[in-house]
Amino acid sequence: MPPYTPDDGLSTSTSRQQRVVEEDIQQLLDHHLAKHPNGFEGLTLNREAHIKFIEKTLRGLGSNSQGLDPGRPWLFYWPLNSLALMDVEIADDLKTRTVATLARLQRPEGGYGGPDQLPHLAATYAAVLSLAIVGTPEAFASIDRMKQPDGSFTAHRGGEVDVRGSYCAIVIATLLNLLTPELTANVSTFIARCQTYEGGIGSRPNVEAHSGYAYCGLATLAILNSLDVLDIPALLHWSAGRQMTLEGGFNGRTNKLVDGCYSFWAGATFPLLESAVRRSWSHHRPLDPKFEMFLEDDMGYLYDRRRLQEYILGCCQATHGGLRDKPEKFPDPYHTCYVLAGLAASQHRLREDAAITTTTTENSKGPMEADSDVPPTLADLLSWTVDVVDECVLGPRKDNLLRALHPIYAIPFNRVTAVFRYFYGDDQVQACL
Amino acid sequence: MVKLEDSYVPLSQLPEWSDVTPIPQDDGPHPVAPIAYTQEYAEAMDYLRAVMKARELSSRALELTEEIVWLNAGHYTAWAYRLDILKHLNVDLYSELDFLSEFAEVNPKTYQLWHHRQEIVKLLNDPSREHDFIAKLLATDSKNFHAWSYRQWVVTQFNQWDGELPYVAQLIDEDVRNNSAWNQRYFVLTRGSTQDLDRDTLRREIDYCLEKMALAPNNECPFAYCRGLLKKFGTHDDWLLIRAQLRALGGVANAGDVAAARSQYAWGLLLDTEEHLIREATEEEGLTARRAEVRRVRTNFRV
């Protein structure tokens, strides 16, 4: 095991908190190593317990979850996505009831919100993804596409503006075939302004770089074919730094503590970054020699997948089901979803198809010339492919391997294709595959 | 002020609400993931539905929104409605700031709290209480993302740049690993990315970084900060300076056994420095020799 992070003989609040977590995790990982003859290869995903935990939340939540009332659609997305990633068949009855319950959270003025509350971009994102996971014609038909939020990207009427809003709006519009030049105009310029001196992306210009916002910004730019507005080498450097040396999991900001949910927010940026590097390669721009090694490597990505999986399987599984932030914390639906999503993303090689990439780069823009954002073609949107590489899966595949997760839409790949078929037309989709 | 510890009296028993018919929530016959609300919250929401339907912008509706956000801090609809009422009633907005200060002590990480405070301060056009308000919360959690983001808004909106640098320096002195404070330092010096640094300021900042690097070489903050400044504002001489200093810092070039030599951040910045110098270099300056230097540094970096 790597040594504890040195405090260089200068103890501060940050180094003390970090040390407590490191000792906790070291102890747990040592315990696993002592217990399993195969070492970390013996770590398994406790599916049955997690499924039970999730099914319990679908039946109902206690008053301690009252704070989630305004974000009620998330209470569908988190558990349904967790089940879909574990390849659990969603019962017809649950599908029907999900469509019916979400229909009541749809607002007459467009979008979704908490019960009888204003429509909210994040709630709408969660509702649309939930219905995509359900995947029935009734689910798709229940979405009133004509009344989606406009391009202002405040979270709700009179609400706050940040990169999260950009991501939710663009994802919703992309899945539902609602992208227009008006909607995409200036989106990438705003995101580019949120990249900080560290290389990561903050919620707004000048705000500290944060994994959650970096993911949202990068995924949005990936949809819009505008990754080149960012300083990609700087973002790559910062992103690689989010993986913790001892813990194996990711943190969200420099010198903050590890948290299982960043397995997704930070982990899922790597396939997007790889795509950005490939694009710049096919652009015949000088390629930074640092990247050659990682593009040729079969494992791909500039993070250690196996160490992340050690953290997830060894430290994030609660004994009685559900997944968590770190060992001292309780599991919840949010962490269950995003820890599993991070695990799924780390188990597969996700990449944009090279042929498609070449055609798009002919039209692509130079750096910082993105005010004329144009909506991407369907072929662009369908250009992601999946491989399972054995070395990417820690432990027994039959227990641990999850369904491949789409790095942009944060639901399994097969669900994404079904949504596109419904909203763009079977023929159109077929022509691109 | 609603006190949570008070025994709960249902709104339906209060004479001032007797004219309102509450509207219950309708989740449908077999909802998925229903929440077992507390009686207090469920009833308050039933009344909120009723007053919102009637667009009632009254002081009792204002009190009701306060009760709801105490019970559910992230209730963005109640917050938005509260703002509508405040604008309509023309009440003393300074008392709203008092409420928000008290609320923030309990719920410092609620998006809506910060957004609401920003809207109120805009209406008052008076930032005089904000510095202390934010500083108090940062004293409890010096990395509160919302607090820093809001602080940037206040500083920019009301042109309060003076005094910000000493404040940030103080927080860095308290915890040199507080990256939020370093981010704020960059924000202040570049006036929110709108301003270049003059030569003296840049050199002063490089010196500041070097001092903090030496203090705790395994702390990423000053290295990232220094790299950011150099990439944006550095001249050839500045890069040469940092190369020399990094090599001197604990004998990095000789891979000695002092703490600095084990610092991945020192090696990383040195590598970037060499690569930068290569990109600048011409053949006359010995490009081949520089390339060899990069290979050497990179080999050490991997080890």
Where do the structural domains in chain A lie, given as residue ranges? 45-432
- Say what the pLDDT of residue A410 is: 97
| Mean pLDDT over the full length of chain A | 87
Residue B132 resides in a domain:
no
pLDDT band with cut points at 50, 70 and 90 for residue B285: low
Which of A162, A228, A325, A380 is labelled catalytic?
A: A325
CA separation for the pair A415, A411 (Å, rounded): 7
Instruction: Write down which residue in B33, B61, B91 finishes a domain.
Output: B91
Residue B5 resides in a domain:
yes
Contact: A97, B31; criterion CB under 8 Å: yes
CATH number at residue B10: 1.25.40
Residue with tokens 């075939």: A177
In chain B, residues with a C-beta closer than 8 Å to the C-beta of A158 are 80, 83, 119
User: Is this complex's ipTM strictly greater than 0.90?
Assistant: no
Considering only residues 252 to 281 of chain A, which have any Cβ-Cβ distance to chain B shorter than 8 Å? 253-256
Asked if residue A43 has pLDDT above 60, the reply is yes
Q: Return the CATH number of A45-432, one of 1.50.10.20, 3.90.245.10, 1.10.8.60, 3.40.50.1970.
A: 1.50.10.20
**Which one-letter DSSP state was computed for residue B15?**
G
- Say what the pLDDT of residue B142 is: 97
The alpha-helical segments, DSSP class H, found in B158-219 are 164-174, 179-189, 199-215
Contact: A63, B35; criterion CB under 8 Å: yes
Asked if residue A232 has pLDDT above 70, the reply is yes
What is the residue range of B243's domain?
Answer: 196-303
Asked if residue A148 has pLDDT above 50, the reply is no
Asked if residue A149 has pLDDT above 60, the reply is no
Q: Which of B26, B30, B32, B87 to mutate to test the interface with A (most CBs of A within 10 A)?
A: B32
Q: Which residue of B has its CA nearest to A156?
A: B76
Number of CB atoms found within 10 A of residue A319's CB: 8
CA separation for the pair A204, A195 (Å, rounded): 9
Asked if residue A151 has pLDDT above 50, the reply is no
Give the three-state DSSP class for A112. Answer: strand
Mean pLDDT of A86-114: 93
- Say what the pLDDT of residue A370 is: 42
pLDDT tens digits along B64-75: 999 999 999 999
Q: Which residue of B has its CA nearest to A115?
A: B25
pLDDT tens digits along A327-386: 999 999 999 999 999 999 999 988 887 544 433 443 444 433 444 466 788 888 888 888
Contacts of B18 (CB under 8 A, 6+ apart): none
pLDDT band with cut points at 50, 70 and 90 for residue B262: confident
Mean pLDDT of A233-246: 94
- Pick from A6, A70, A208: CB nearest B183: A208
Closest CA to A267 of A279, A253, A255, A249: A249
Residue B20 resides in a domain:
yes
Check if A332 is active-site: yes
User: What CA dihedral angle connects B82, B87, B91 and B93, to 10 degrees?
Assistant: 80
Task: Find out whether A43 and A395 touch, Cβ atoms under 8 Å.
Answer: yes
CA separation for the pair B59, A176 (Å, rounded): 42
Check if A56 is active-site: no
Residue with tokens 């339906």: B12
Asked if residue A179 has pLDDT above 90, the reply is no
Residue B13 resides in a domain:
yes
Instruction: Write down which residue in B91, B120, B146 finishes a domain.
Output: B91
CA separation for the pair A95, A90 (Å, rounded): 7
Residue B227 resides in a domain:
yes
What percentage of chain A exceeds 70 in pLDDT? 87
CA separation for the pair A113, B113 (Å, rounded): 18
Residue with tokens 């963005």: B76
CA separation for the pair A193, B298 (Å, rounded): 31
Reported for A17-23, long-range contacts at CB under 8 A and 24+ positions apart, including other chains, are A17/A257, A18/A255, A18/A257, A21/A247, A21/A257, A21/A258, A21/A326, A22/A246, A22/A247
CA separation for the pair B300, B303 (Å, rounded): 5
- Say what the pLDDT of residue B233 is: 95
Check if A253 is active-site: yes
Instruction: Report how many domains make up chain B.
Output: 2
Task: Find out whether A155 and A120 touch, Cβ atoms under 8 Å.
Answer: yes
**Which one-letter DSSP state was computed for residue A190?**
H
- Say what the pLDDT of residue A155 is: 73
Contact: B218, A6; criterion CB under 8 Å: yes
Residue A254 CA: distances (Å) to CA of A21, A54, A211, B216: 16, 32, 10, 15
Mean pLDDT of B148-163: 96
- Say what the pLDDT of residue A278 is: 75
Check if A284 is active-site: no
Residue with tokens 């369908």: A382
Instruction: Write down which residue in B42, B68, B91 finishes a domain.
Output: B91
Residue B252 resides in a domain:
yes
Mean pLDDT of B231-241: 94
- Say what the pLDDT of residue A356 is: 42
- Say what the pLDDT of residue B256 is: 45
Asked if residue A66 has pLDDT above 90, the reply is yes
- Say what the pLDDT of residue A373 is: 60
